[in-house]
Amino acid sequence: MPDTPQVVVNTVKTVADLPLWLIIVLVMASGVSGEMLRASAIVDMTWKQIACRIAMRFGAAGLIGLGIFMAIMSFDYHVYLAASMGIFAAVLGGDVASSLIERFASKKISKI
């Protein structure tokens, strides 16, 4: 049976050795697939609207998640706590931004 701490160290080293561009591509691919899944519920969306929605959610999630991560790290907490809180805040930030833009769009449409 392998030594569990050594397995964790090897896994962390493997992930740390991944190139940054690959991590960014994987994150963007998962964001695009998730937003496409959400947008598939709305029938009449153009590619431009989907791209704007992805950019809005990705921007909101990225800014909020990174801000929370940096704030928690500045208080010298463990990196795992900071990362988990950053991910949690990023998910909430994307959902809040999406709901705000949907409310704004529905008010615009109702005025027409």
Q: What is the pLDDT of residue 61?
A: 81
Considering only CA atoms, which of 68, 41, 40, 39 is closest in space to residue 55? 39
d(CA 7, CA 20): 22
Q: What is the pLDDT of residue 40?
A: 66
pTM of the model as a whole: 0.57
Share of the chain above pLDDT 90, in %: 4
Q: What is the pLDDT of residue 75?
A: 93
d(CA 83, CA 108): 37
Q: What is the pLDDT of residue 39?
A: 66
Residue written as tokens 């990705």?
A: 58
CB within 8 Å of 39: residues ≥ 6 apart? 45, 49, 50, 53
Q: Are 44 and 64 in contact (CB under 8 A)?
A: no
Is the model's pLDDT at 20 over the cut of 80?
A: no
- Residue bearing the bigger pLDDT, 33 or 2: 33
Tens-digit pLDDT profile for residues 53-94: 777 777 778 888 888 889 999 999 888 898 889 888 888 887
Is the model's pLDDT at 3 over the cut of 70?
A: no
